[in-house]
Amino acid sequence: MGKLQKEFRVLHDAIKLGTYDENESLREKRDLLIDELNVQLKGEKIPGTDKDLTFKKFDQGSYAMNTGIKPKDDDFDIDVGIVFNISNDEYESHKIKKLVHNKLDKQHNRTVEYNRPCLTVKYSDGYHVDLAIYSDNDDDLHIAWGKRNSKERLWYKAEPKKLTDWVADVSDDADESKQYRRLVRYLKKWKDGKFNSDGNAMPPSIGLTIQARDHFFYEEDNDLVALINIIKAMINEFEMRWCGDSLAYKQRIVIELPVAPFKDVYYKMSLKQTDEFHEKLETFLEALEAARDETSDHKASKILRKLFGDDFPEVEDVKKSYIAPAILTGNNA
């Protein structure tokens, strides 16, 4: 069995966040917003027609992929796709996005923000819902892309369900699939502890999920070695690019979605930020390899706790717990 495999399983159980079917609270929050949007759009027509504007929802993101972790600061991220019964010609992307924004931006306990791929509904009690808006086009989905006042406001072909299936198809073997999802969760846990969540400096989870999927090789009962192999491969995907701002070469990474719209998932990160990402991955790898090579499980566990926090158990120090047997004397005999 791999080094500290039992402790890795404890870590996984502590950080795992299940699917909507397993989490009633998040499921209720998702459904309340969807029900509200249905009410707000009642009677709305597709422009130039007498046809009612309707939509269907589907789950996407880490919940659909079953790779979610419990968030730090209890900021739960709920990802939902909204597919309207329209074609691209029937509704301009920014107009349908604006319509949804205006319908939902009426409550005082939340804010609704424009992002390129979605609308983000933020609540005061510590969770937010990312609503991706799609046109149907006879099941040929396109996503409404662009910020409110951006020049880049258009429909992009998108295959969110195909992406979820691609992640799920990592292996036909149940044990292999489970190990892959554990590894993705370890990566996300490490990311949450090592990156500031403000701005775009934090690599998006979908990037880690895709790279882990690309480089996953099953290691029976050995999550540590399987994780090391993925990190090595991730580091090798960086390339040196000239950075004019700092007049130096920096590490850049470009990872495209494996499905439409085939966009670079790290597009928000600056060259300086991807260089820092590379540096932190190298430090991550050095620590993992040190834990692998450490002869003391106690010392190895302390290394891993610095990477993953207190959710990773500390193994008891055998030397400290050892009590020497009493020396028998003639009287005691």
Give me the pLDDT at residue 19, please: 72
Give the C-alpha distances (Å, rounded to integers) separating 250 from 78, 194, 244, 253, 269. Answer: 34, 20, 10, 10, 13
Here the tokens at position 189 are: 């846990």
Amino acid (one-letter) located at 194? K
Give me the pLDDT at residue 126, please: 77
Q: How many helices (H) and strands (E) does the chain have?
A: 11, 9
Helix residue ranges, H only, 71-158: 93-104
Q: Where are the domains of the chain?
A: 19-158, 163-316
Average pLDDT over residues 89-109: 93
Examine residue 261 and say whether the peptide bond preceding it is cis (omega within 30 degrees of 0): yes
pLDDT at 268 exceeding the cut of 70: yes
Average pLDDT over residues 91-117: 92
pLDDT at 333 exceeding the cut of 50: no
pLDDT at 25 exceeding the cut of 90: no
Average pLDDT over residues 15-32: 82
Give the C-alpha distances (Å, rounded to integers) separating 55 from 121, 156, 312. Answer: 18, 18, 43
| DSSP state at residue 176 | H
For 241-265, the pLDDT digits (tens) are: 998 887 789 999 999 999 999 999 9
pTM: 0.91
The Cα–Cα gap between 114 and 78 comes to 16
Give me the pLDDT at residue 327, please: 54
Class of domain 19-158: alpha beta
